[in-house]
């Protein structure tokens, strides 16, 4: 009797003995897709917050260095291209941070006595597109930056603005 049972079991096809059913595989795929759909937006928010923190820190540090220069020399440094350290600012700025590609693309750019949307600013720092560093205009990132810099969301007030060419612009002196 036992021998007959063993023979019947051994003659079963392999697929019937081992493996997952289609329903089990579909449930696993569904669970993975739900977890992914929850994780991806959360990861994007965390990345945006981290980028905003880096940008705000850089803008504040750079603004302090330019203010120090103006206090010492009674004037602002001369205009310089994106990613280029303005004359007299080497050693005052973290040269590596100024020259690198920013977290939102582009490079930092000293805006001395420049016109933006009809308003002349004596001293400002912009993020501008540069060779090898295109500027990606991410509206949620810009909104987070505006709120972090000024405490409220107002494109026209405070120290953070959008300059000509829709570049992020931090006003040091109007």
**Across the chain, what does the average pLDDT equal?**
88
- How far apart CA 78 and CA 64 sit, in angstroms, is 17
Return phi, psi of residue 12, to 5°: -70, 145
The whole-number pLDDT of residue 10 equals: 54
Q: Is residue 1 predicted with pLDDT exceeding 60? A: no
| Assigned token pair, 35 | 């977890």
The whole-number pLDDT of residue 16 equals: 55
The whole-number pLDDT of residue 166 equals: 87
As a whole number, mean pLDDT of residues 26-50 equals 92
As a whole number, mean pLDDT of residues 80-84 equals 93
The whole-number pLDDT of residue 9 equals: 54
Q: How confident is the model at residue 154 (pLDDT cuts 50, 70, 90)?
A: confident
Which CATH fold would you assign to the domain 21-173?
A: TcpA-like pilin (3.30.1690)
- DSSP class of residue 80? -
Record the pTM: 0.78
Domain boundaries, the chain: 21-173
The whole-number pLDDT of residue 144 equals: 92
Q: Please state, in angstroms and as integers, the Cα–Cα distance from residue 93 to each residue in 63, 105, 165, following that order.
A: 10, 19, 25
The whole-number pLDDT of residue 3 equals: 53
The whole-number pLDDT of residue 64 equals: 96
- How far apart CA 51 and CA 39 sit, in angstroms, is 18
| Assigned token pair, 82 | 């994106």
Q: How confident is the model at residue 98 (pLDDT cuts 50, 70, 90)?
A: very high
- How far apart CA 110 and CA 92 sit, in angstroms, is 14
The whole-number pLDDT of residue 151 equals: 86
The whole-number pLDDT of residue 56 equals: 96
Q: How confident is the model at residue 100 (pLDDT cuts 50, 70, 90)?
A: very high
The whole-number pLDDT of residue 6 equals: 52
Contact (CB, 8 A) for 65 and 92:
yes
State percent of the chain over pLDDT 70.
90
């Amino acid at each position: 009797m036992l021998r007959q049972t063993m023979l019947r079991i051994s003659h079963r096809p392999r697929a019937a003995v081992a493996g997952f059913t289609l329903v089990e595989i579909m449930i696993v795929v569904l669970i993975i897709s739900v977890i992914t759909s929850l994780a991806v937006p959360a990861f994007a928010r965390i990345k945006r917050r981290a980028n905003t923190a880096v940008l705000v820190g850089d803008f504040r540090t750079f603004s302090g260095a330019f203010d120090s220069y103006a206090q010492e020399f009674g004037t602002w440094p001369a205009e310089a291209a994106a990613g280029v350290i303005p004359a007299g600012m080497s050693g005052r700025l973290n040269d590596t941070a100024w020259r690198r590609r920013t977290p939102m693309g582009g490079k930092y750019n000293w805006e001395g006595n420049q016109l933006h949307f009809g308003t002349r600013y004596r001293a400002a720092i912009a993020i501008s597109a540069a060779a090898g560093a295109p500027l990606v205009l991410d509206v949620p990132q810009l909104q987070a930056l505006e709120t972090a810099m000024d405490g409220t969301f107002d494109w026209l007030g405070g120290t953070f603005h959008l300059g000509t060419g829709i570049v992020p612009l931090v006003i040091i002196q109007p």
